[in-house]
Chain A
Amino acid sequence: MVTRILHHPVGALVAALFVLPAALHAAEIRVMCYQDGVECDVVAEQAKRFEAANAGTKVVIDVVPYKTIVEQLPVQLAAGQGPDIARVTDLGGLSKYYMDISAHVKDKAYWETNFGATLPWLRPTAADKGIYGFMSQLTMTGPYVNKTLFEQAKVPMPGPKATWDEWVDATRKVAKANQLPAALAWDRSGHRFAGPAISYGAKIFDAKGDLVMDDGYKTAVNKFVGWHKDGAMLKEVWAGTGGSSYADSIGEFKNARVAMVLSGSWQINRLQKDIGNAFDWVAVPNPCGPAACSGIPGGAAWVALKTSKSPKEVGMFLDFMAQEANYAEFTARTNNIPAHAGLAKKGVKYPGATPQAQAALGVFSSGVANLSPVAYQFQGYKFNRAVMLPTVTRVTQAIVGEMSTDEAMTKIAADMADAVKQATK
C-alpha cells in the first residue's frame, strides 16, 4: 500500500513535502547502558513509550558490558565522541563531560526536591547548580551469606553488630565443616575495600581534605592480606588477575565455594535469578571494625553528555525517566534502592522480588543509616579512583608476596599522589 502511494506522483510529492522534512528533524538519542540485571531492558520499554509520546524522537539503547563503561567510554568522551546518554558509575570523574539539561526539564523544583541529595555528585564543581542527570539507583556495598552452609555446619550466624574478625572466624568454621576451598571472598575492587577500611578507622582525608593513608587503612590492608595468607579468603578473586582489573566474587558465592562475600546491593537481582532455590542466602549488615560498621554508598547515574547533538530531546527523555511513576517502575522491576526522595519516603513495592530479595533490600536500605560520614566523603570525592585502583594493584602484590604490606601502603600513597597530580594538571 505504502509503496503504491509512493509510486504515485502525487503521493511521492506529498511524502517529499511532509514526511521527509519530519524525518530530517527526527532526533536519535543513543543511550549507552550496562546492566546488572534487567536495567537496560526496562529502560528500553520506557523508551518505546517516550517515542510514542514524542513523535520524531528515536531512542536507541546500546547495551554494553560494564567494562566498556569503565574503560572505553572515558576514552571516547575524551576524544569528543560518545553517546547522548550513558549509565555511569564514575560519577565525579566524568563530570566534565556532562551536559546541563536544566533548560530542558519541565520542573526544576521537582528535581531538586527528589534528587537534591545526589545531584551534587554529578556536578563538576561545588558551586555549580546544573542538572546533569540523576541516580538510577542508590547502592551500598555489603556482604551476602550462604545461610544453608551455616545451617549445615551448625554454626550460628554472627549478629548485626558482629565484627569482621567474628565473621571470619564463623565462616572459617563453616568452610571447614563443608569442605569449602575458602571461608569468604571480597570483590576485587577498591570501592568494596574502602568500606571495611573505614570500619577499621581509615579517615582517607586529612583535616585539609587531602588524601592520606592512615593507620586505619593500614590495619585493613594487614587484616585482608593476612586472611589471604591463612587461607580464609579465596585467593582466586584478588590473586587471579593482575593490575587493577575488577573481578567480582558473586560467581564464587553462587557456586557455594565460599560462605560469605562482600559485594553490594546491585547484585540482588542476579542472586535471585541465578541461585533460585539452590540454597538460602541473606544479606547481612556490614560487619564492624573499631571505628564503624560501614559500607560505601554509591550507585549508577543516567547522565546527559556534551557529545549530544540533541540536547533538548536528551533533557526531555531524562526528565521522562525521572518522573516518579517511571522511576518507581524502574526501581521495582530492577530490585534497586531508589535515589528518589519522594519514592523512598513512600516505599517501593517489589512485586517481582522473592522473599529473600525483599529481605536483602530491607537490609541494605536500613544499612544506609550506619554509613560513616567518611564513606560519603569518599564517594563524593572526584578522584576517589586514585585511591581505589592502586589499592587493588598493591594489595594484590602483597597478597602474592611481591611486597610487604608496609611497602604496599607506601606504594599506594605514591601511586595515589601521582594519579591526582596528573589528573589535576
Chain B
Amino acid sequence: MPLLSRGAGLFFNLFEPLFRLAQRRLGLGRLGWLFVAPNLIVFGLFTFLPIGINLVYATTGGVNLMPFERPYTGAENFGILFECRNYFDIQTCRKDVFWRAIFNTVQFSLIQVVLMVLLSLLTALVLNRKIIGRGFWRGVFFYPVLLSPVVVALIWKWLLQSQGVFNAALVAMGASPIEWLTTASWAFFWTVFVSIWAHMGFYTLILLAGLQAIPKDMYEAAEMDGASPWRTLRRITLPLLMPNLIVVLVLAMIRAVQIFDEVFVLTGGGPGSATTFIVQFIYQTGFAEQIHLYGLAAAASLVLALGLVLLTLLQLRLTRASDAGRRAR
C-alpha cells in the first residue's frame, strides 16, 4: 500500500503542471471529464458504437454485410418480427420462430430462475452448517462452474443421447429407452436442469458469503429467546440475506435471458423449436442461415436489449428498495 500511494504521489507530482493547465483551461467543473475520458473512449468504442451499428443494421435490409451497401428500410424489420394475424396464435405470425423463441425464453427464465434461487439458497444453507466434509461439498457444488459451457453440454449430451448412459441404464433395468433430447418436453426439462447444474455453484457461493456475513450473535439471541429454526430463517436469515438474494435473482435472470451456448450444443434448439431461445434465434437469423438476414437479427437483438434494460432497471429499483428498507430498520 505505501508503495501504491508513493506511486500515485509521484504520478500526480509528475503531471501536476499539466493538471494545473487543464484546470485553468477547462475549469474545475469540467476537469473530471478529462479524467474519465480514457474510460469513456473505450466504453464508447466497444459499447455505444456497436449499439449504433446495430441500429443501422436493424433499419436496413438486404443481405450485404457492409452498412453502406444496405438499403434503408426504416422499421420494416421490426414490422416483420411483430407481424401477426392473431397475436394469441403464434402460428399466424410471420416470424413465428421469433415468438416461439421469446415464449421459450420467458418460460425458461421463470422456471430456471425460481429453481436456481431456491436450490442455491438451500445448498448455501446446508453448506453453511457444520457438516462433515464441508470444504469437499463446497468444492463439489462449485466445480461445474469451472467447466466450459460447451464441455458441460457435451457431457450431458453424451449421457442423454439415445444410446447414452441413461438409456443404457434404463435398458439394463428392463425399461424402455426414453427419447430425452428428441421429445420436446424432455428436451426443455434437460435444458433447465443442465443450466442449473452448471451455474448453481456460483450463486450458492454468493449466498454463502452473505450467510457468513450475518452476525452470529443474532442467532444466539434468537436461540436464547426460543425462536424456532423456521422463524429464525424467516426473521433473521432471509431479511439479512436479501441484498445477496436480489443480486442472485437479477444475475440469474439476466443470464437466463441470454442462455445460448449450453443449449445450442445440447439440443441445437430442437426438437423443432422447443428449446430455441432468443439469442439462438438471433444467431441463426444473422449467421447460421446461408441467406444472412442481418437486419432482422439486429432488430431482434434490440428487442432483447430492451428486455435486458428492463431487467436492469428492476434490479436497480429492487436494490434501492432493499437499501431503503435496511436504512429504515
B138 at the interface (CB under 8 A from A): no
Whether the pair A93, B162 counts as a contact (CB closer than 8 A) is no
**Bound-complex Cα distance A396 to B272 (A):** 5
Asked if A75 meets B291 with Cβ closer than 8 Å, knowing A403-B91, A425-B63, the reply is no
Contact of A75 among B61, B181, B273, B292 (CB under 8 A): B292
A residues near B162, Cβ cutoff 8 Å: 181, 236
B290 at the interface (CB under 8 A from A): yes
B residues near A243, Cβ cutoff 8 Å: 268-270, 273, 276, 280, 284, 288-289
Return the CB mask of B157-171 against A: 1 if under 8 Å, else 0: 000011100000000
B267 at the interface (CB under 8 A from A): yes
A74 at the interface (CB under 8 A from B): yes
**Bound-complex Cα distance A240 to B275 (A):** 11
B75 at the interface (CB under 8 A from A): no
Contact of A71 among B71, B184, B287, B293 (CB under 8 A): B287
For residue B290, which residue of chain A has the nearest CB? A385
Whether the pair A241, B292 counts as a contact (CB closer than 8 A) is no
Whether the pair B284, A244 counts as a contact (CB closer than 8 A) is yes
B271 at the interface (CB under 8 A from A): yes
Asked if A78 meets B65 with Cβ closer than 8 Å, knowing A241-B267, A242-B271, A403-B91, the reply is yes
Whether the pair B290, A389 counts as a contact (CB closer than 8 A) is yes
A residues near B91, Cβ cutoff 8 Å: 403, 407
B258 at the interface (CB under 8 A from A): no
A84 at the interface (CB under 8 A from B): no
Chain B binding surface, main DSSP class: loop
Whether the pair B97, A393 counts as a contact (CB closer than 8 A) is yes
For residue A255, which residue of chain B has the nearest CB? B163
**Bound-complex Cα distance A159 to B280 (A):** 44
**Bound-complex Cα distance A403 to B97 (A):** 12
Whether the pair B269, A241 counts as a contact (CB closer than 8 A) is yes
Whether the pair A385, B182 counts as a contact (CB closer than 8 A) is no
B64 at the interface (CB under 8 A from A): yes
Whether the pair A242, B291 counts as a contact (CB closer than 8 A) is no
Contact of A422 among B63, B100, B182, B184 (CB under 8 A): B63
Which of A7-15, A114-122, A368-376, A411-419 faces chain B? A411-419
**Bound-complex Cα distance A235 to B289 (A):** 22
B residues near A313, Cβ cutoff 8 Å: none
For residue B281, which residue of chain A has the nearest CB? A243
A residues near B161, Cβ cutoff 8 Å: 236
Whether the pair A240, B270 counts as a contact (CB closer than 8 A) is yes
Contact of B268 among A242, A399, A402 (CB under 8 A): A242
A residues near B270, Cβ cutoff 8 Å: 239-243, 396, 400
B residues near A181, Cβ cutoff 8 Å: 162
A residues near B63, Cβ cutoff 8 Å: 78, 422-423, 425
Whether the pair A425, B288 counts as a contact (CB closer than 8 A) is no
B147 at the interface (CB under 8 A from A): no
B179 at the interface (CB under 8 A from A): yes
**Bound-complex Cα distance A240 to B80 (A):** 28
Asked if A240 meets B268 with Cβ closer than 8 Å, knowing A78-B65, A389-B290, A422-B291, the reply is yes
Whether the pair B62, A422 counts as a contact (CB closer than 8 A) is yes
B residues near A236, Cβ cutoff 8 Å: 161-162, 179, 181-182
For residue A89, which residue of chain B has the nearest CB? B290
Whether the pair A242, B275 counts as a contact (CB closer than 8 A) is yes
**Bound-complex Cα distance A396 to B161 (A):** 18
B86 shortest CB reach to chain A, Å: 14
B residues near A78, Cβ cutoff 8 Å: 63-66, 292
B261 at the interface (CB under 8 A from A): no
B94 at the interface (CB under 8 A from A): yes
B274 at the interface (CB under 8 A from A): yes
* Number of chain B interface residues as a range: 35 or more
B residues near A403, Cβ cutoff 8 Å: 91
**Bound-complex Cα distance A393 to B285 (A):** 12
Whether the pair B271, A400 counts as a contact (CB closer than 8 A) is yes
Asked if A414 meets B179 with Cβ closer than 8 Å, knowing A400-B271, A419-B291, A419-B293, the reply is no
**Bound-complex Cα distance A350 to B198 (A):** 50
> For window 244-288 of chain B, which residues contact chain A by CB distance below 8 Å?
267-276, 280, 284, 287-288
> For window 381-402 of chain A, which residues contact chain B by CB distance below 8 Å?
383, 385-386, 389, 393, 396-397, 399-402
**Bound-complex Cα distance A243 to B280 (A):** 9
Whether the pair A400, B61 counts as a contact (CB closer than 8 A) is no
Whether the pair A240, B272 counts as a contact (CB closer than 8 A) is no
A80, A243, A396, A402: residue with the most chain B Cβ atoms closer than 10 Å: A243
Asked if A386 meets B268 with Cβ closer than 8 Å, knowing A242-B273, A243-B276, the reply is no
A70 at the interface (CB under 8 A from B): yes
A71, A93, A397, A411: residue with the most chain B Cβ atoms closer than 10 Å: A397
Whether the pair B280, A385 counts as a contact (CB closer than 8 A) is no
B292 shortest CB reach to chain A, Å: 7
**Bound-complex Cα distance A70 to B289 (A):** 9
A70 shortest CB reach to chain B, Å: 7
A310 at the interface (CB under 8 A from B): no
**Bound-complex Cα distance A96 to B131 (A):** 67
B residues near A418, Cβ cutoff 8 Å: 80, 94
A90 at the interface (CB under 8 A from B): yes
A2 at the interface (CB under 8 A from B): no
B residues near A245, Cβ cutoff 8 Å: 268, 288
Return the CB mask of A195-223 against B: 1 if under 8 Å, else 0: 00000000000000000000000000000
For residue B274, which residue of chain A has the nearest CB? A400
B residues near A17, Cβ cutoff 8 Å: none
B residues near A411, Cβ cutoff 8 Å: 96
**Bound-complex Cα distance A403 to B184 (A):** 13
A79 at the interface (CB under 8 A from B): yes
B301 shortest CB reach to chain A, Å: 16
Whether the pair B94, A240 counts as a contact (CB closer than 8 A) is no
For residue B296, which residue of chain A has the nearest CB? A422
B residues near A80, Cβ cutoff 8 Å: 66
B residues near A386, Cβ cutoff 8 Å: 291
Whether the pair B62, A389 counts as a contact (CB closer than 8 A) is no
B residues near A242, Cβ cutoff 8 Å: 267-276, 280
> For window 55-80 of chain B, which residues contact chain A by CB distance below 8 Å?
61-66, 71, 80
13 contacts between A and B (CB under 8 A): A74-B290, A75-B292, A78-B292, A181-B162, A235-B271, A236-B179, A401-B184, A402-B184, A419-B293, A422-B61, A422-B291, A425-B62, A425-B71
Q: A240-B182, A402-B272, A425-B71 are in contact. List 4 more A-B contacts (CB 8 A).
A: A71-B290, A243-B268, A400-B271, A423-B291
The 5 nearest A-B residue pairs measured at CB: A242-B269, A241-B268, A78-B65, A242-B270, A425-B62
Chain B residues with CB under 8 Å of chain A are 61-66, 71, 80, 91, 94, 96-97, 100, 161-163, 179, 181-182, 184, 267-276, 280, 284, 287-293, 295
